[in-house]
Structure 1
Amino acid sequence: MSYDTSRDTVWPFDVDLSALDTGSITNIILDIENHLPLLKSEGDMKELLRVKKLFEEELMESRRLH
């Protein structure tokens, strides 16, 4: 499966994640992982993996609430 890296740094939607704590982001990532096997379209899977990566990057930010 190829992955388009040209859009990796841009959120697919306008949202401020700064108020989310690490537990909330971890739960979102787990929900995404649980939904991946249900996707039938490769395009949908790529987009969901892209969103997952963005949440993972947000989780790694040092300013993240705990």
Structure 2
Amino acid sequence: MSHEVPWPFDVDLSTLDTSSITNIIQDIENHLPLLKSENDMQELLRVKQLFEEELMESRRLH
């Protein structure tokens, strides 16, 4: 069973526009195949999920 560790920092993405968030998600997707460690990949996927959730929220607000 996997236990996710809370983020070690508080991230405020409210200042980013949807285009910036989309670009970050695309960059993450481009880097995923380059990762060799499963742990690194899982962490990057968690970051991607954070940005995807923010993108969904920001789109609802516009």
1:13 aligns to 2:28 (yes or no): no
Question: Runs (4+) of structure 1 moved beyond 6 Å?
Answer: none
Provide closer, same or farther for how the CA distance between residues 11 and 26 of structure 1 changes in structure 2, counting only shifts above 3 A: farther
Q: TM-score, normalised by structure 2?
A: 0.80
The structure, 1 or 2, with the larger RCO (C-alpha pairs under 8 Å, 6+ apart) is: 1
Runs (5+) with no aligned partner, structure 1: none
Counterpart of 1:33 (choices 29, 36, 40) is 29
Count the aligned residue pairs: 60
Q: Normalized per residue, which structure has more helix? A: 2
Q: Structure 1 vs Structure 2: percent identity of aligned residues?
A: 76
- TM-score, length-normalised on structure 1? 0.76
Q: Deviations over 1:21-62 (max 9, x none)?
A: 000000000000000000000000000001101100100002
CA distance in 1, matches of 2:61, 2:7: 19
2:39 is aligned with 1:43: yes
**Following the alignment from structure 1 to structure 2, what is the Cα–Cα distance between the partners of residues 58 and 33?**
16
- Deviation string, structure 1 residues 7-31 (Cα, Å, up to 9, x no partner): 4xx5453121001000000000000
Structure 2: unaligned runs, 5 residues or longer: none
Which residues in structure 2 correspond to 1:50-65 (within 5 Å)?
A: 50-61=46-57, 62-63=60-61
